[in-house]
Amino acid sequence: LLGASKDVATVDITGGAPEMNEAFRPLVRGARGLGLEVIDRCNLTVLCEPTQEDLPDFLAAQGVRVVASLPCYSAKNVNQQRGSKVFERSIEGLRKLNAVGYGHPGSGLKLDLVYNPGGAFLPPSQESLHEAYAEALRDNFGVIFNELFTMTNMPIKRFADFLHKQDKLAEYMQLLVDNYNPATLDSLMCKSLVSVSYDGSLYDCDFNQALAMPLTADGAQTVWDLSSLDELTSARIQTGNHCFGCTAGSGSS
């Protein structure tokens, strides 16, 4: 399917810890063999798993771009949000990636980090936060990286439940609506990608997949219904109130 999809340039692999799936490495090798960019959405702690000692070397050998979630450069904030010792294991994972060349100028191995707010507020500008991350990680842990991306918390699933319990869901939705930015529309992820579930089902984006809002293309609900992903180019995009999360402030795609 990828070989027949001439408009596809990137395979972006996500799903908690996709590296633990037995199909991860064959998929990476196959996509790279077709000359496609491969992105691994890495949670960093997977690099510390006993069965994944060779993962940094594999990613580097395949030239995979690593995009890793690190919600803060403070151990207290990360461990409070993600769990005990997650920050320490994340730093260990970053050091392992740095050790094989990731983040180093001229290496060709990109290591990007992702920040998302720890509550019901919009993220600050990427530029100012990048400087703070770079300084803190370099000076305190000897870690370097390439780019930092800020992501708005989407009002779905667990975060929506959290807001509902705090009686702040309507307030947060109003915050997103009030900060709607039409300049974000051209770069929305749903306009340039298709999200593929573990079972081959198709969605316009990861968030629609989480909400079980399938693609609306006629006769194309799974990868098995297509001969090429290029067939989806003119398909209508499914939208909902959660889409304001990608269009608020500086965007989130």
Tens of pLDDT, residues 194-223 = 999 999 999 999 999 999 999 987 778 899
- Return the pLDDT at 16: 86
What would the pLDDT profile of 136-180 be if each residue is shown by its tens digit? Answer: 999 999 999 999 999 999 999 999 999 999 999 999 999 999 999
Mean pLDDT of 15-44: 96
pLDDT at 80: 85
- Distance (Å) of CA 159 to CA 79, 117, 153, 164: 17, 11, 7, 9
Owner of token pair 């596809």: 8
> What is the structure's pLDDT at 12?
97
Q: Provide φ and ψ at 156, rounded to 5°.
A: -135, 165
Query: For the chain, what percent of residues have pLDDT higher than 70?
Result: 100
Confidence of residue 253 (pLDDT cuts 50, 70, 90): low
Does the pLDDT of residue 187 top 60, yes or no? Answer: yes
Nearest to 207 by CA among 168, 171, 176, 167: 176
Average pLDDT over residues 180-187: 94
Whole-structure pTM value: 0.93
| Bigger pLDDT: 83 vs 253 | 83
Distance (Å, whole) CA 28 – CA 95: 22
pLDDT of residue 250: 85
Which residues, including other chains, have CB under 8 Å from residue 23's CB and lie 6 or more apart? none
The residue that leads in pLDDT, 56 or 82, is: 56
> Mean of the per-residue pLDDT values for the chain?
94
What pLDDT is attached to residue 79?
A: 86
Mean pLDDT of 9-16: 94
pLDDT-wise least confident of 111-115, 137-141, 232-236: 232-236
Question: Residue 210 class from Cβ within 10 Å (0-12 exposed, 13-18 middle, 19+ buried)?
Answer: middle
Mean pLDDT of 74-94: 91
